[in-house]
């Protein structure tokens, strides 16, 4: 089989009601999507946080055999394409391989540990509303009512906002729901520790990205000072970026994003490194239906960490924010039922792309 063509789509979904995390306000959702076409009549879809340059694609992907995914990964990396760009190509190659073998992607990755994945609702952003606490409490209750047993709230807006609202949401949802917070790197070490000590009283599942993404020493400081799991690394772009973070065990949980960290191929290497160092892996997911599908196949295959009668949940990040490229791009969308998501069963990624929706949100 030979790759005959690679189409790239720069997509953007304009958000109707902008929302904020500790770092920025989101007004659009932008993603790179690729479609790889082969001479066997099979094509595959991939997504990346960015797209590789056309020259890198023409020189290193077109004309190659999709089963040579390691060779293609290395060639793109050598050509200077970062993990986010390589991811778009790599995920499409795995989609093609699954379709060629008529197997779901998880089967190519060694088999599913689980066919259903517990999801946590990601939402609870800061919005332009008169009373943040009331809005957050209502939103959190709506997720609990929808059946979610876990959710995540955005913090990083300063001690007053964070401490007050985390406590209010915890009171509203009760003690039985897993509750994580995410500062999106908005704090320095000292502030993260001070705010973290107060928020920890609300029995948190983890404190995500308290500080800058690559600050290994800083994460060690924060982790040692706080009696709460520290997570992060959604922005790290390949195994070398993860190496020290994992070896120093600077985080309790790493959260590689398959569309940032170099795709499925690189994800497995990062996971192997984390497993050897007893660091948990919980994927980051904030993208289109393609990223959601790829993340589901990875989640199907990640072993319990550690193996136990009541293992720590290997959770899907289920993005509740507004994004038609997640909810409408697949003709067979991946949805939760009472906070649980079934692993896609079709060949490859197991999703069919709605070309009308793709065209509607393609900007280049």
For the chain, count helices (H), then strands (E): 13, 13
- Rule CB under 5 A: say whether 257 interacts with Mg ion: no
CA angle 42, 46, 52 (to 5 degrees): 115
| Closest approach of Mg ion to the CB of residue 111, in Å | 29
Q: Is the Cβ of residue 82 or residue 208 nearer to Mg ion in the bound state?
A: 208
Binding of residue 215 to Mg ion (CB under 5 A) = no
- Start-to-end C-alpha separation, the chain: 29
Nearer to Mg ion, 35 or 208 (CB): 208
CB contact set of 282 (below 8 Å; sequence gap of 6+): 231, 253, 254, 255, 314, 315, 317
**Residue 75's CB: how many other CB atoms inside 10 A?**
17
Beta carbon of residue 269, minimum distance to Mg ion (angstroms, whole number)? 22
What mask, x for binding Mg ion by CB under 5 A, covers residues 36 to 75? Answer: ----------------------------------------
Considering only 208-216, 217-225, 288-296, 337-345, which stretch makes contact with Mg ion by CB under 5 A? 208-216
Angle at 32 between CA 30 and CA 34, to 5 degrees: 150
Toward Mg ion, which CB reaches closer, 208 or 328? 208
Size of the residue set binding Mg ion (CB under 5 A): 2
- Looking at the Cβ atoms of 212 and 342, the one nearer to Mg ion is 212
Q: Tell me the closest approach of the beta carbon of residue 208 to Mg ion, in angstroms.
A: 5
Q: How far is the CB of 209 from Mg ion (least distance, A)?
A: 5
Pairing type for strands 25-38 and 43-48 reads antiparallel
Which one, 21 or 60, has the nearer CB to Mg ion?
21
Segment contacting Mg ion by CB under 5 A, of 102-110, 200-208, 257-265, 300-308: 200-208
Helix residue spans in 129-158 (DSSP H) = 132-145
Whose Cβ is closer to Mg ion: residue 47's or residue 208's?
Answer: 208
90: contact with Mg ion by CB under 5 A? no
Q: What is the DSSP string of 84-102?
A: HHHHHHHHHHHHHHHHHHT
Burial 344-364 (b: 16+ CB within 10 A, else e): bebbbbbbebbeebbeebeee
Residue 284 falls in the annotated catalytic set? yes
Minimum distance from residue 185 beta carbon to Mg ion (Å)? 9
In the complex with Mg ion, the residue whose CB is nearer, 83 or 347, is 83
The DSSP line for 232-257 is E-TT--SHHHHHHHHHTT--SEE--B
Instruction: Tally Cβ neighbours within 10 Å of residue 41.
Output: 8
d(CA 204, CA 210): 13
User: Binders of Mg ion among 134-193, rule CB under 5 A?
Assistant: 182
Output the smallest distance, CB 189 to Mg ion, in A. 18
Using the structure block, give the residue that is written with the tokens 């065990």: 249
Contact between 317 and Mg ion per CB under 5 A: no
Question: CA-CA distances (angstroms) from residue 233 to 211, 258, 277?
Answer: 10, 12, 16
Q: How far is the CB of 83 from Mg ion (least distance, A)?
A: 17
Strand partners, 104: 348
Nearest residue (beta carbon) to Mg ion: 182
Q: Does 252 bind Mg ion (CB under 5 A)?
A: no
Given 271, 284, 297, 336, which residue is catalytic?
284
Binding site for Mg ion (CB under 5 A): 182, 208
Active-site residue numbers? Answer: 284
């Amino acid at each position: 089989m030979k790759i005959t063509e690679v189409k790239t789509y720069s997509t953007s979904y304009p958000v109707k009601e902008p929302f904020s995390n500790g770092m920025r306000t989101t007004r659009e959702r932008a993603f790179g999507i690729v479609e790889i076409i082969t001479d066997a009549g099979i094509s595959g879809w991939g997504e990346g946080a960015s797209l590789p340059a056309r020259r890198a694609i023409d020189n290193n992907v077109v004309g190659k055999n999709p089963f040579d995914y390691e060779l293609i990964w290395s060639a793109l990396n050598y050509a200077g394409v970062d993990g986010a760009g390589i991811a778009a190509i790599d995920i499409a190659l795995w989609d093609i391989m699954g379709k060629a073998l008529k197997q779901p992607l998880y089967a190519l990755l060694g088999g599913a540990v689980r066919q259903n994945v517990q999801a946590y609702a990601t939402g609870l952003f800061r919005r332009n509303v008169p009373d943040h606490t009331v809005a957050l409490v209502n939103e959190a209750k709506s997720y609990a009512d929808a059946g979610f047993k876990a959710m995540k709230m955005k913090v990083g807006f300063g001690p007053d906002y964070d401490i007050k609202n985390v406590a209010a949401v915890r009171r509203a949802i009760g003690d039985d729901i897993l509750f994580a917070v995410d500062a999106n790197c908005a704090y320095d070490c000292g502030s993260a520790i001070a705010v973290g000590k107060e928020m920890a009283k609300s029995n948190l599942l983890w404190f995500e990205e308290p500080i800058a993404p690559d600050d290994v020493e800083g994460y060690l400081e924060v982790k040692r000072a706080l009696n709460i799991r520290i997570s992060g690394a959604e922005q790290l772009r390949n195994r070398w970026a993860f190496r020290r973070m994992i070896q120093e065990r600077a985080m309790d949980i790493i959260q590689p994003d398959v569309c940032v960290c170099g795709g499925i191929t690189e994800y497995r290497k990062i996971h192997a490194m984390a497993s050897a160092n007893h660091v948990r892996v919980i994927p980051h997911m904030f993208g289109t239906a393609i990223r959601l599908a790829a993340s589901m196949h990875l989640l199907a295959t990640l072993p319990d960490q550690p193996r136990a009668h009541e293992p720590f949940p290997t959770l899907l990040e289920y993005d509740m924010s507004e994004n038609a490229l997640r909810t409408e791009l697949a003709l067979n969308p991946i949805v939760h039922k009472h906070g649980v998501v079934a692993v896609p069963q079709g060949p490859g990624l197991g999703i069919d792309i709605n070309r009308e929706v793709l065209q509607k949100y393609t900007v280049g």
